Amino acid sequence: MAKKTSEYPAKQKKINEAIESQVFQHSYLIYGEETYLRNQNKDKLKKALLGSGDAMNLQYYSGKNLNPGEIIDMAETLPFFAERRVIVIEDSGFFKDGCKELSAYLKNPAETAYFIFVETDIDKRKDMYKAVHNNGFDIECDVQNEQTLIKWIAFKLGKENFKITSEDAKFFLERVGTDMGNAANELEKLVCYAQGRNVITRNDIEAVCANWLSNQIFVMMDAMVEHNQQKAMQLYYDLLALKEPPQRIQALIFRQFNLMMQVKEMHDNHRDNGSIASAVGLMPFIVGKYINWAKNYTMQDLKNNLAMIIENDEAVKKGKLNDVISVEMILVRCSARV
Q: How many residues does the chain have?
A: 338
Which pLDDT score is estimated for 338? 61
Chain segment 232-291, per-residue pLDDT in tens: 999 999 888 877 889 989 999 999 999 999 999 999 999 998 899 889 887 676 788 899
Chain segment 151-195, per-residue pLDDT in tens: 999 999 999 999 999 999 998 987 887 889 889 989 999 999 999
Paired sense of beta strands 137-140 and 58-62, if any: unpaired
Q: What is the dihedral of CA 243, 145, 189, 119, to 10 degrees?
A: -90
Which pLDDT score is estimated for 219? 86
The set of residues, in sequence order, having a beta carbon less than 8 Å from that of 157 and lying 6+ positions away, is: 163, 164, 187, 190, 191, 200
Reported confidence tier of residue 2, pLDDT bands at 50, 70, 90? very low
- Cβ atoms of residues 179 and 46 within 8 Å: no
- Cβ atoms of residues 114 and 135 within 8 Å: no
- Distance of alpha carbon 302 from alpha carbon 122, whole angstroms: 39
The full set of domains in the chain, from first to last, is 8-140 (3.40.50.300), 146-209 (1.10.8.60), 213-335 (1.20.272.10)
Terminal-to-terminal C-alpha distance of the chain: 39
Reported confidence tier of residue 3, pLDDT bands at 50, 70, 90? very low
Give me Rg for the CA atoms of the chain.
Answer: 23
Reduced 3-state DSSP string for 204-225: HHHHHCCCHHHHHHHHHHHHHH
Tell me which H or E stretch contains 75: helix 68-76
Q: Is the pLDDT of residue 308 over 60?
A: yes
- Distance of alpha carbon 291 from alpha carbon 301, whole angstroms: 15
Among 25, 32, 23, 22, which Cα is nearest to 2's? 32
At 211, give phi and psi (nearest 5°): -60, 140
Tell me which H or E stretch contains 256: helix 246-268
The arithmetic mean of pLDDT across residues 38-57, rounded, is: 91
Chain segment 72-117, per-residue pLDDT in tens: 999 999 999 899 999 999 999 999 999 999 999 999 999 999 999 9
At 162, give phi and psi (nearest 5°): -120, 155
- Distance of alpha carbon 75 from alpha carbon 106, whole angstroms: 10
The arithmetic mean of pLDDT across residues 53-71, rounded, is: 92
Three-class DSSP category at 291 = helix
Alpha helices (H) along 269-298 = 273-280, 284-294
